[in-house]
Structure 1
Amino acid sequence: MPDDNRVDRRVCQLYQRGIVPYATAWAWQRSLVDDRRQNPSLDDVMLLLEHPPTYTLGQGASTQFLKFDPAQAEWEVHRVERGGEVTYHCPGQLVGYPILNLTYYQKDLHWYLRQLEAVIIQVLAVYGLQGERLPGLTGVWVSDRKVAAIGIKVSRWITMHGLALNICPDLSGFDRIVPCGLSDKAVGSLEQFVPGVQFEQVREQVAIAFAEVFNVQLVEDADVAKIER
């Protein structure tokens, strides 16, 4: 784990956006990853944004967890290179896409997944909620409801895809799938536990927690603003 006492924390560029089409954000991630394959010394990046209603399946995901025909769907459906089964994105869900070079952290995918979960758990604690991990599963639960899903892709130790935290979304879109292939687990949102929670405030807490958990200096849009420990 990085030394929390070091002075020269790694810089991570923070891009906070509103609703971005899934294909646009996906192409943006791939471009950022390609740049860092060619030049590993480039700063890391964290994208925080939302998507319009979209279903995504991991590279090995089964279509049996879709309750509709993807060829005739009125919603966007994408099969992407992350791990995991099918999930749903929509406004009110905060999506975080870290583009990190794990060479500067730990070359350990399990460590990285647990760090992403730790970010969510730390944010939930701000609102007096106990985020929980379930043995053998990836993500974060509050009580019996999964409030955050995680799915990643790592190539040459550079990460893409990431986490999705349900803050105040319309959860009905999850009814059309078996989320993450878990038929016995309910999906929930932060709003269900903290009525009136503000999306922008939670997004800020996610940025702060990410900076603390990964021990980085977040620089928003090329020095416009900074979130530091």
Structure 2
Amino acid sequence: MDQNHWKSPLPCDVYNLGLVPFADAWTLQKSLVQRHGHSPQPDRLLLVEHPGVYTLGLGSTLDYLKLPAEDLPYPLFRTERGGEVTHHCPGQLVGYPILNLKRHRPDLHWYLRQLEAVLILTLAEFGLRAGRQSGLTGVWVGDRKLAAIGIKVSRWITMHGFALNVCPDLGGFGAIVPCGISDKAVGSLAQFCPGITVEAVLPVVVNSFAQVFELNPVIQNAAPLGL
């Protein structure tokens, strides 16, 4: 048997940062990505909730805002990720993997499908049969979208990531056409599992992420330098 077949999984530092303003988490991501240009870095997974905010993808249109930007109930940021407008708020678990895909597979399509697999596996742990919709990115239960994905990859280092609606107030989505999809509803895990909390889901996401990406999660008790 090839000895390499039994190599230990690569470590991945996991940070549960709690409630963090979007701008702060965005700055932290960019700082961690930049470190990869200077010295070897571990894979990292940042897990956060955000106060209410809307974000746009790099090339996304304002046509999917139902109100003028200045009249939205929460701040609006244009980012470098792909995809259209989305909403973040407390009760939604957001994951920002900072991975070097050269250690995994340098393939954007593969990476997107892997993130979807993490969320499908997570929801299965709570008894939900989640899946994909043809031609769309994200994870669905029936026609309800429970998780959105939007990424940026530069020199095969990833940033941005996924947002899983655990138990959020979905009202903020009413001011936008989420991800530009007008004919399907946004949903949450709490609609199927009343009383579910982010605290209950977070370790399941970590385990699912580790399983799908074949990583060894190393839980960090302090935030990365810069937050």
Shorter-chain TM-score range: over 0.9
> How far is 1:73 from its partner?
3.6
The CA distance in 1 between the partners of 2:149 and 2:203, in whole Å, is 19
SS at match of 1:168: coil
Paired positions, count: 219
CA deviations on 1:70-114 (whole Å, 9 max, x unpaired) are 134441100000000000000000000000000000010000000
SS at match of 2:204: helix
The CA distance in 1 between the partners of 2:146 and 2:102, in whole Å, is 30
The CA distance in 2 between the partners of 1:114 and 1:191, in whole Å, is 24
Who is 2:163 aligned against? 164
> How far is 1:67 from its partner?
1.0
The CA distance in 2 between the partners of 1:6 and 1:200, in whole Å, is 33
The CA distance in 1 between the partners of 2:154 and 2:6, in whole Å, is 27
SS at match of 1:31: helix
The CA distance in 2 between the partners of 1:103 and 1:217, in whole Å, is 17
1:182-197 mapped onto 2 (5 Å cutoff)? 182-197=181-196
Structure 1: which amino acid aligns with 2:162? L
**Gap change, CA 1:184 and 1:216, over 3 Å in 2:** same
User: After the TM superposition, which parts of structure 1 deviate over 2 Å for at least 4 consecutive aligned residues?
Assistant: 4-8, 71-74
> How far is 1:8 from its partner?
2.5
The CA distance in 1 between the partners of 2:60 and 2:33, in whole Å, is 23
> How far is 1:187 from its partner?
0.2
The CA distance in 2 between the partners of 1:10 and 1:222, in whole Å, is 19
The CA distance in 2 between the partners of 1:189 and 1:220, in whole Å, is 26
SS at match of 2:60: coil
Structure 2: which amino acid aligns with 1:122? L
State whether residues 13 and 222 of structure 1, in contact with CA within 8 Å, keep that contact through their aligned partners in structure 2. Answer: no
SS at match of 1:116: helix
Who is 1:112 aligned against? 111
State whether residues 73 and 172 of structure 2, in contact with CA within 8 Å, keep that contact through their aligned partners in structure 1. Answer: no
Identity within the alignment, %: 57
1:15-54 mapped onto 2 (5 Å cutoff)? 15-39=15-39, 41-54=40-53
The CA distance in 2 between the partners of 1:74 and 1:164, in whole Å, is 20
SS at match of 1:67: coil
TM-score of the superposed pair, with normalisation by structure 1: 0.93
> How far is 1:221 from its partner?
1.1
Structure 1: which amino acid aligns with 2:215? V
Who is 1:79 aligned against? 78
TM-score of the superposed pair, with normalisation by structure 2: 0.93
The CA distance in 1 between the partners of 2:46 and 2:5, in whole Å, is 26
CA deviations on 1:8-55 (whole Å, 9 max, x unpaired) are 21111100021100000000000000001222x210110001000000
Structure 1: which amino acid aligns with 2:28? W
